[in-house]
Amino acid sequence: MQTLPRGFVAGLIATGVLSAVLLIQASLGALPQVNMIAMLATLVSASMLVGWIAHFVIGALLWGLLYALIYPRIPGRGPVAKALAFAVGAWLAMMILLLPATGAGRRAVRAGDRAVGADRHAGAPSALGRGTWRGLCEALTACHEQ
């Protein structure tokens, strides 16, 4: 099946672009409380290296393959609309599942781009922006029929 490898590649490319955005953000000192890699490392009580590995495994394997599997059922016309719909769904999943697991929970949704107490987690708007980049990257390597 050609769809799954394409989904993996889409997830890998999207995760690579997201990683570049995260590195640029860190080098500029912008929103230092927004550190997805540290959040993942904290979640599994491991080093930053493990956080980076988890970031790529989740991005390429989980999101990339899920995108390929459900692509025909994603609402929207065309690959860009479908990829953006998927990105918003992935963002919602992060807000509902991942943030509560890290202790941020609903406070992160209400906090916007401010730090959440002593947490290093970002609010919902910045996460949605990064998710939109992911969707656009997935659209470029979409699993749609040519």
Q: 77-95 pLDDT, tens per residue?
A: 888 888 888 888 887 887 7
| Residue 145 within any structural domain of the chain | no
Q: How far apart are CA 111 and CA 97, in angstroms?
A: 17
The percent of residues above 70 in pLDDT, for the chain, comes to: 62
pLDDT digits (tens, 9 = 90+) for 15-47: 898 888 888 888 887 766 667 788 888 888 889
| Residue 134 within any structural domain of the chain | yes
Q: How far apart are CA 69 and CA 131, in angstroms?
A: 19
Q: How far apart are CA 114 and CA 40, in angstroms?
A: 19
E strand or H helix at 130 = helix 124-140
Mean pLDDT, rounded, of the chain = 74
pLDDT for the residue numbered 42? 83
Domains: count for the chain: 1
| Cβ-based burial of 69 (10 A; exposed 0-12, middle 13-18, buried ≥19) | middle
pTM for the complete prediction?
0.67
Phi first, then psi: what are they for 97, rounded to 5°? -105, -50
Q: Once rounded to an integer, what is the mean pLDDT over residues 106-112? A: 47
Q: Once rounded to an integer, what is the mean pLDDT over residues 102-106? A: 59
Q: Which residue has the tokens 């107490």?
A: 117
pLDDT for the residue numbered 109? 47
| Residue 77 within any structural domain of the chain | yes
Question: What is the residue range of 123's domain?
Answer: 3-140
